[in-house]
Amino acid sequence: MMGPGSISEILKREIAAAGFDRCGITPAEELSPEHDLLKRWLSAGCHAGMTFLERNSRRRADASRLFEGARSVAVAAAGYGSPYAAGIVAGPVISRYVTATDYHKVVAGRLQKALSSAAEKIPGMRGRVCVDSAPVMEKPLAVRAGLGCQGRNSLLLIPGVGSYFFLGLIVFNLLAEYDPPLPADPCRSCRKCIDACPTGAISDQGYLDARRCISYLTVERRGGMSGSPGATPGSVAGPEPGPTPGSTMGSVPAPEPGTTPDSMAGDNLFGCDICQDVCPHNNPGNESSIYGLHRDVRLDAITHPEWMRLTPDRFRELFDGTVVERRGYEGFMGNVRALRSE
């Protein structure tokens, strides 16, 4: 029978061969302290009404529920993106994670291949691949698996990789040799992301208030920006108050009177990378080593007047199979029109 050390070695080798930058393995067990933190974040309202996070919070914290007989989880990270074209953006900014193809499919496909190859070599191995396809706390699992530590901007920072990466999981049925968490505090005295965030969404304790986050406002927010067909005056009102000052999560500054989601978004058309771009752990010039996870640099050359003339056909041509497609043509044009109204 194969030992835990050999199982880890084979699986990690297959995951590296599939193009991933880092991999760590941790037990599939309940993440109780992390679940408590999630509950506090939810009860403070920082999830901005994303109710799916509330509904499955206990399940989300227990990776053993992802797969019948789950014993272990391999967490894999794949760097994404590439530099903006010529280092500049001509028009409104689209986040770096809008890669040329849908990362869910690319990352899941490669992990599935790694799992199949490992299962051919490891007797009795069964597993399931998860890339945003099941409720699970990926970041805390990645921390436990020794990939990196969570930074003040709430993102996982992986030494030598930074925070521009996608995570994927292989949950499997065997005991393996586990990786210890990294001991280091990745931020130390740095607070660049807190100071750079244009909307004050990051608290002094490193909690992110999604209600003030441009990524949430431009990508996830129900009803969209003010230019969306379904938007109502109420849906573009200023953000609600953040966590109570003095709470254990710290506080975010109160918004200026008259602040709206449109005014907070600034030049950001879809997503926001500001708190990552300033982070010293990132090298914005890094190229992804996986084909399909590179940036479509055509997007950086499109000016706002050109976005205003975007047709449904051109939208499909630019975004078919990407995460923007999920927003839909009308939702995306709502963001475009909201920028014009400022």
Residues near ligand SF4, by CB under 6 A: 151-153, 186-187, 190-193, 197, 199, 201-202, 208, 213-215, 272, 274-275, 278-281
Task: Please report, in angstroms and rounded to a whole number, the separation of the first and last CA atoms in the chain.
Answer: 66
**Max CA pair span of the chain:** 67
CB of 220 to ligand SF4, least distance (A): 11
Pick between residue 19 and residue 81 the one whose CB is nearest to ligand SF4: 81
Alpha-carbon distance of 27 to 5, in angstroms, equals 14
Alpha-carbon distance of 99 to 297, in angstroms, equals 9
CB of 263 to ligand SF4, least distance (A): 13
Pick between residue 121 and residue 191 the one whose CB is nearest to ligand SF4: 191
CB of 89 to ligand SF4, least distance (A): 15
CB of 219 to ligand SF4, least distance (A): 10
**Look-up: residue for tokens 């393995």?**
25
Pick between residue 170 and residue 324 the one whose CB is nearest to ligand SF4: 324
Alpha-carbon distance of 57 to 136, in angstroms, equals 8
Alpha-carbon distance of 84 to 71, in angstroms, equals 41
CB of 198 to ligand SF4, least distance (A): 6
Pick between residue 216 and residue 319 the one whose CB is nearest to ligand SF4: 216
CB of 282 to ligand SF4, least distance (A): 8
Contact assessment for residue 46 and residue 216, using Cβ atoms and an 8 Å cutoff? no
Pick between residue 66 and residue 279 the one whose CB is nearest to ligand SF4: 279
CB of 122 to ligand SF4, least distance (A): 37
Contact assessment for residue 299 and residue 87, using Cβ atoms and an 8 Å cutoff? no
Pick between residue 111 and residue 274 the one whose CB is nearest to ligand SF4: 274
Pick between residue 187 and residue 290 the one whose CB is nearest to ligand SF4: 187
**Burial of 13: CB neighbours in 10 Å, binned 0-12, 13-18, 19+:** middle
Q: Residue with CB nearest ligand SF4?
A: 151
Alpha-carbon distance of 258 to 245, in angstroms, equals 21
- Give which of 80, 151, 18, 66 is closest to 323, Cα–Cα: 80
Angle, helix 103-121 to helix 4-17, in steps of 10 degrees: 140
